[in-house]
Chains A and B, each alone.
Chain A
Amino acid sequence: MPGWKPLEMTALPTRKLEAWRYTDLRALSAMSFGEVPNPPAPVLPDLALPRLVFLNGVSSENLSSAVPYARGFEAVAEPSAEPLALINAAHAQQGITLEIPAGVDAGTVLLISQAGGTVPFAFHPRHRITLGAGARLTIIEIAKGDGVYWHNPVTDIVLQDGAKLEHVRLQDESREAFNLSTIRAEIAENAAYEHFTATIGAKLSRTEIHAALLGTNALVHLNAAQLLTGTQHGDFTSVIAHKAPNCASRQTVKSVLAEKARGVFQGRIEVARVAQKTDGYQMNQALLLSPDAEMDIKPELEIFADDVKCSHGATIGALDNEQVFYLRSRGIPEAEARSMLIRAFLEEALEPVAQADAKALLEAEIETWWVKQ
């Protein structure tokens, strides 16, 4: 698809749409994308885990290991009218299909995207992850790169009765790149989807998650941390649909914004009439490290059932100078003191991440983030 522009295929959403009010894609619309260049020399994490590696969106047989129950890309009709998903569907030629049979604990799988090139390019992976009844899986997804590109993945997740998926994402794309990720999860009775996204990279990014709780006692955790600086823009948007009784949703999203960075959180919780005894919790907090940083927060609760417990809260604050001084008075240099307090601020969001490698990976990124600035 040499020289194509996304606008020619399907229009990108504009700020006139309520769901895109705070994220402006004009800089992306203005770009033209060339042919996908040859992949860069990969820098892979030093983790002894089975891995699926994509270079510039193309599956690398050499770098990937044998992952049980994994197949390659399978085309499916796009069920929604979401602009980004439609663009993805029009271009997707790569992606993983993972189908874990009922009752199988498939352990942990790394899903790596490494991108880079000298001319702007775009890639649109489509992943499908299905867990049969009682199956278990952890996915650690890492996206990194250099140069100008647009990464537009769509991930469809189906969790059958009692299945549990832990999905940990590290978005550390090139600071010149665009990452617009769409994730859709269907969660059946007694199943659990535990999601964490760390947004550190990209010039502009959005993680948009639609999670549907379809059977009783289903659980969804959508946690995230955004660490942004310069003129980075990071958007975490979620729609949680409670469509069955006795389900729980938990959301803790934290943003740390330096310089002129801008963070967005949109969190919509829909509770259907049948979804009695819904237990919903949503917390959004931002730490502004500069007077020029900006955070936009839009919580939305739409409740049609009468016996539900839904709470939400939002705070925006700065680092506490008393705390910084306390640490410095104990000999801890200022940058390290600030770093410790940033890590502490993120604790509540990070706490549920259970898989040890994933946790260590995130900890390392967070610990060095401020010191690297």
Chain B
Amino acid sequence: MLEIKNLHARIGEKEILRGVNLVVPDGEIHAIMGPNGAGKSTLSYVLSGRDGYEVTEGEAIYNGQNVLEMEPEVRAAAGIFLAFQYPVELTGVGNANFLRTALNAIRRKRGEAELDAVAFLKLARAAAKTLQMKEDFLKRNVNVGFSGGEKKRNEMLQMALLQPGLAILDETDSGLDIDALKIVAEGVNALRSPKFSALVITHYQRLLDHIVPDVVHVLAGGRIVRSGSKELALELEAHGYAGLEAA
């Protein structure tokens, strides 16, 4: 379970998050919607431990631990996975090598045996096939020369291999056509289980047709201003965010 309590965070002098309160029980998928500049990406980066954000107040407890005090790699091993809005290109790093290094680093931290190259490739090929990715995906440099859709699929491949307990999808739907969108949704849906939860951050409702959330929250002005069932997303789609920011 993820429990965010009165989270305040800023970049430099600018306060972005101003008291976020949010509970995501295991097994549930929560969507976070909101206008541009509401703090959606900041929330995902603060939870995953990126530099440059200063938490001034509050905490984020995941499975009993305050993740805000952990290094990013420790958070990953604890089961937190951030699917990037803009996945980073790594020229000179082969995708298979990257995936295997990540998977084995996490397995080590979890006290599991590392996978050798053969066992890893078998696993990775199967996961890539499920995501309808070509074999050469594993041979290419990480995200280099990938289309927007391929980058997002690569994020889903990483998620499928690393098997997180909590996935944070930061506008994973941006720039995706409908086929890619469905593949991303299938990637998330495939992980659904009583032990898996997800925070799906999105600007638009359409991703939520495919990843059906248990709860929809509206983040505006650095706070959760409204929470509701999945119908809230439809309402927002019809009427926009006007009026919510002032709430």
Binding site for B on A (CB under 8 A): 320-323, 325-334, 336-337, 340-341, 343-348
- In the complex, how many angstroms separate the beta carbon of A319 from the nearest chain B beta carbon? 12
A332 & B90 in contact (Cβ 8 Å cutoff): no
Interface residues in B23-81 by Cβ distance below 8 A to A read 48-51, 71-73, 75-77, 81
List A contacts of B189 (CB < 8 A).
none
B51 & A331 in contact (Cβ 8 Å cutoff): no
* Residues A325 and B102 in contact in the complex (CB < 8 Å), given A341-B93, A344-B91: no
Interface range on chain B (Cβ under 8 Å from partner):
20 to 34
List B contacts of A332 (CB < 8 A).
73, 101-102, 105
**Whole-angstrom CA separation of A155 from B105 in the bound complex:** 44
A348 & B101 in contact (Cβ 8 Å cutoff): no
* Residues A329 and B106 in contact in the complex (CB < 8 Å), given A334-B71, A334-B73, A341-B93: no
A330 & B90 in contact (Cβ 8 Å cutoff): no
List B contacts of A340 (CB < 8 A).
90, 93, 97-98, 101
Say which residue of B75, B77, B87, B103 sits within 8 Å of A326 (CB atoms): B87
Question: Could you list 25 A-B pairs, sorted by A, with CB under 8 Å?
Answer: A325-B49, A325-B51, A326-B87, A326-B88, A329-B73, A330-B73, A330-B76, A330-B98, A330-B106, A330-B158, A330-B162, A331-B73, A331-B77, A331-B103, A331-B105, A331-B106, A331-B162, A332-B101, A334-B71, A337-B73, A340-B98, A341-B93, A344-B90, A344-B92, A345-B92
**Whole-angstrom CA separation of A320 from B143 in the bound complex:** 15
Binding site for A on B (CB under 8 A): 48-51, 71-73, 75-77, 81-82, 84, 87-88, 90-93, 97-98, 101-103, 105-106, 109, 158, 162
B109 & A348 in contact (Cβ 8 Å cutoff): no
* Residues A323 and B92 in contact in the complex (CB < 8 Å), given A332-B102, A333-B105: no
List A contacts of B158 (CB < 8 A).
330
* Residues A329 and B72 in contact in the complex (CB < 8 Å), given A321-B51, A344-B91, A344-B92: yes
Task: Report the nearest B residue to A332, measured CB to CB.
Answer: B105
- In the complex, how many angstroms separate the beta carbon of B11 from the nearest chain A beta carbon? 14
B73 & A333 in contact (Cβ 8 Å cutoff): yes
B105 & A348 in contact (Cβ 8 Å cutoff): no
A330 & B102 in contact (Cβ 8 Å cutoff): yes
List B contacts of A322 (CB < 8 A).
88
**Whole-angstrom CA separation of A326 from B72 in the bound complex:** 9
List B contacts of A327 (CB < 8 A).
90, 98, 102
Task: Report the nearest A residue to B52, measured CB to CB.
Answer: A321
B84 & A326 in contact (Cβ 8 Å cutoff): yes
